[in-house]
Every structure is written in structure tokens, then in C-alpha cells.
Structure 1
């Protein structure tokens, strides 16, 4: 039993930092993707506003 526990602890010691790094990368990628979507939306909004202003009444 103690051998199995030791192997599991060693495995966790190796995997945990790797998982943490991957999680941080995924979080950063998600943040960047959302940021890009917000910027795209703002550009589209500005273009639509420009169309409305240009239309004759």
C-alpha cells in the first residue's frame, strides 16, 4: 500500500505544476479571445454609427 501511495504522490508532484501551467495558459487565451471579440464588436458599432450619421433624413 505504501508503495502505491508513494507512486501516486510522485505522480501528483509531477502533474500538478504542469496542470497549473496549462490552466494559466488556457485562462490567458480565453482572456485574449474575449478581448478580441470586444474590440471587433466596438469596431462594428462604430461602423454602424457612421452609417446612421451618413444617411440623409
Structure 2
């Protein structure tokens, strides 16, 4: 993030959450989705996190 690589930072965060099967709440998922949309990223970046969303 310090280097201005926002897309890479979000992609890395999502990959870690997916690989480590870390549960996230719906609000966190929405925030990741919002940031991804602002950065014009592919939806696949965060969509795979849906299975890790807890109620």
C-alpha cells in the first residue's frame, strides 16, 4: 500500500483470506467489494470470499 499498489494490496488480502479460509462478516465483504469496484477490479478478486462470509 505504501508504494501505491492498491489493486495488488486488495488482491493479496483477498487471496490470503481465501487460502487461509478465514471467515469474514458480511460488512467486511461489502467493504472489500466496494473498494474493488472503486479500483475497477475484476469481481473474481473478491467473489470467491462469499463462501467465507459469516452471518
Q: Tell me, yes or no, whether TM beats 0.5.
A: no
Normalized per residue, the structure richer in helix is 1
Structure 2 length-normalised TM: 0.31
TM-score (norm 1): 0.30
